[in-house]
A and B are shown apart, each in its own frame.
Chain A
Amino acid sequence: MPKVLDNFQISPLVWKMRVETPALVAKAKAGQFVILRVNEHGERVPMSIAGLDKKKGLLTIIYQVVGKTSALMTTVPGGGELSDCVGPLGVPSHVEKWGTACLVGGGIGIAPIYPIAQAYKEAGNKVITIIGARSKDLLFYEEEHRAVADELHVCTDDGSYGHHGFVSDVLKKLLDAGSKIGMIMAIGPVPMMKVVTNLTRSYQVPTWVSLNPLMIDGTGMCGGCRVSIGGETRFACVDGPDFDGHKVDFDLLSKRLGAYRDHERKAMKHFLAEPGCKLADAVRDFKYPDEK
């Protein structure tokens, strides 16, 4: 069973977990994902790779508490174990030398663009990175990104830190200023990826996105992760997770992500009401956005 080296809170509802999986890490590349289970009775959840320490065989996962399984993940202590962790899954992000490449990470998407930024940089690109969150306390990984990017832009929706506005606003300014960007990769919540790709379409800059539909096996067997790309059905687990953002049907993705919403909420309520479960305060007080 894969051992968890450490697992700690990095913003109110975001945790960073490092898992000792040397064989997996040796094979993994930026843009791929893993599927893990916390315990024998748990769900199989896909997680983007947020960092790979090839020397130490460490896999970094950054996850946001959104329901029972992610809440349960916060309870695994350093030195503890996951039930299983399979990967690397999916096709690695396409990397070549475009000249200047721009990475856009929104919310939890700040994490998976980090190893991709490293890969772009290693390929000899000038890397411009834009990261954004709703407010200052929800930002993370600024230092990590600063160490890789040639140019880092930080923004918050409420203006509590960095530029006041969305990542797409910053990107628009860069494009309007005539930045010669050969390639854009955007990862974040579905509405953010939709806005970014709508914006870049008019500038005709190739824009890739990484999709995160629900899945079970992650090897093409179940078809639960089907997405519509240019009107054709694709399986995100084996054909993706990266796709040409200008061809993605984001509305379909958004709807399919909500397939089990009621079930998830019920499971979370039930879990939080369980006595004797040691949870961080932020998790204990968890509320869905529309409940606040």
Chain B
Amino acid sequence: MVEKIPKKDRMKVPRQVMPEQKPEDRRKNFQEVPYGLTEEQALIEASRCLECKNIPCVAGCPVEVDIPGFIDLILHRDYAAAARKIKETNSLPAVCGRVCPQEEQCEVVCVLAKKHQPVAIGYLERFVADYEREHKLTRLPEIAPPTGRRVAVVGSGPAGLTVAGDLIKLGHEVTVFEALHKPGGVLVYGIPEFRLPKKIVQAECDFLAEMGVKFKNSTVIGKMDTVDELFEQGYDAIFIGTGAGLPNFMGIPGENLIGIYSANEYLTRSNLMRAFDPDDYDTPIIHGRNVAVLGGGNTAMDSVRTALRLGAENAYIVYRRSEKEMPARIEEIHHAQQEGVQFHMLTAPIKFNGDDQGRVVSMECIKMELGEPDASGRRRPVPIEGSNYTMVVDLVVVAIGNSSNPLVQKTTPGLETNRWGNIVADPETMQTSRKGVYAGGDIVTGGATVILAAGAGKKAARAMHKFLMEEVKK
């Protein structure tokens, strides 16, 4: 055990800074940007925790990780036990340690955050999860005796993986259906290698498979089998976590020119199909010299930083509101700025121009100013008449969000959806209008975060377990 520092001195210890690749280096490669804390740093960081009685950090976590508990195990230098402590409530610590917005969840409510800087909970989570995996200390958790109940999970993103992990531990038989050829959903096709290495996602899925979860890849529910057919095949409960499916476009002239991608397509080519590595992989991707990414969320940041790494000379974020309204994590915006991304705020494209081969060559934009707040509470951008100008671009990535994919909803009679086509689910149990059918993640909420999807998976698993044990007779 590391000797504890008196509480009043803990505040004097500065928050540890995670070492990372230098911007000028990393903008040319796809390796992960932050290296992770060293063991020494992790111990110092863990020693900063004030061990508050009322545990505000746990309340701030969508999956209620026992944060003081795992930090204490770090101080005992039992990192694998710390990782297992997290896994009691969160199946994906190596993923969440990297992509969770801790600054608005567990860390924002940390008591230290009031006068100093919060404990770097995310860094510590990542440290113990990586330590456990890299030192091959992963151990299968205790699995309850078989219940004889069968569960189908549709979609293998963060929501589906969480449901699978929780229910397999409770002794249920779990099969995960994935439309793509690899499990992981957005963790595999959406989030780039430099933010979340794919071998980590694979390791998390392998771990679930070791626990007994069956993965059926290349299986599109709604096309292959329907929800009702899954019930006929003997599944007792079904979880739908099909994610935010259909990319939105702007609906402006020239949008179908070559060189205008949805962020989903651009990122899928680079991440899932590994087009960034053309020596080894066959899927092509357009390498733009002047690349504009439209939007201000994390997906936009992922896209623009991918463009830099694929050799863009100029990579722009074009966003119709101001920097303050950008939904992306501050950390991601900083990373993009450090790497040389140019931000064109209060700017909206109104038209794309192409050459005779149908390739985009420029984009006409208009400047905006902020007016009265709109339904989202953010000030509505209003075009400034006569402020039009033209940007030279040879690649545009549209990252303005997704609509719901209707494949499952259309083929499941009686499944209630809202006016945006999202599945309606009880906020506590995630139960849908169909008995035995639960749903969570972006297909319910619209585009959100990995951890909110995992949190929904957690709630669904709890309710599904109750349903399976109380209402399914075997």
Q: How many Å lie between the Cα of A23 and that of B225 in the bound state? A: 9
Q: Are A252 and B256 in contact (CB under 8 A)?
A: yes
Q: How many Å lie between the Cα of A89 and that of B223 in the bound state? A: 7
Q: Given the complex, which residues of A lie within 8 Å of B332, measured CB to CB?
A: none
Q: How far is the CB of B263 from chain A (nearest CB, A)?
A: 9
Q: Are B220 and A219 in contact (CB under 8 A)?
A: yes
User: Can you list 17 A-B pairs, Cβ within 8 angstroms, ordered by A?
Assistant: A37-B181, A43-B282, A43-B283, A44-B181, A68-B282, A86-B219, A89-B223, A216-B269, A217-B189, A219-B220, A223-B246, A223-B264, A224-B262, A224-B265, A233-B249, A255-B358, A259-B259
Q: How large is the interface on B (under 10, 10 to 19, 20 to 34, 35 or more residues)?
A: 35 or more
Interface string of B438-460 (1 = CB under 8 A from A): 00000000000000000000000
Q: How far is the CB of A244 from chain B (nearest CB, A)?
A: 18
Interface string of A197-234 (1 = CB under 8 A from B): 00000000000000000001111111110101000010
Q: Are A263 and B262 in contact (CB under 8 A)?
A: no
A292 at the interface (CB under 8 A from B): no
Q: Are B282 and A217 in contact (CB under 8 A)?
A: no
Q: Are A27 and B224 in contact (CB under 8 A)?
A: yes
Q: Are A223 and B273 in contact (CB under 8 A)?
A: no
Q: How far is the CB of A214 from chain B (nearest CB, A)?
A: 9
Q: Give chain A's interface secondary structure class.
A: mixed
Q: How far is the CB of A290 from chain B (nearest CB, A)?
A: 15
Q: Are B256 and A41 in contact (CB under 8 A)?
A: no
Q: How large is the interface on A (under 10, 10 to 19, 20 to 34, 35 or more residues)?
A: 35 or more
The interface of chain A, by Cβ under 8 A from chain B, is 23-24, 27, 37, 41-44, 68-69, 83-89, 216-224, 226, 228, 233, 235, 238, 252, 255-256, 258-260, 263-264, 267
Given known contacts A27-B223, A44-B283, A260-B284, A220 and B273 CB-to-CB distance under 8 angstroms? no
Interface residue from A37, A42, A256, A260 paired with B256 (Cβ < 8 Å)? A256
Interface residue from B217, B357, B406 paired with A84 (Cβ < 8 Å)? B217
Q: Give chain B's interface secondary structure class.
A: loop
Count of A-B contacts judged by CB separation below 8 Å: 111
Given known contacts A224-B265, A252-B358, A259 and B247 CB-to-CB distance under 8 angstroms? no
B218 at the interface (CB under 8 A from A): yes
B209 at the interface (CB under 8 A from A): no
Q: Given the complex, which residues of B lie within 8 Å of A23, measured CB to CB?
A: 224
Q: How far is the CB of A41 from chain B (nearest CB, A)?
A: 5
Interface residue from A222, A228, A260 paired with B264 (Cβ < 8 Å)? A222
Q: Give 14 A-B pairs besides A217-B268, A260-B284 with Cβ atoms closer than 8 angstroms.
A: A27-B225, A37-B181, A68-B282, A87-B223, A89-B220, A89-B223, A219-B179, A220-B405, A221-B268, A222-B264, A223-B261, A238-B407, A252-B358, A259-B286
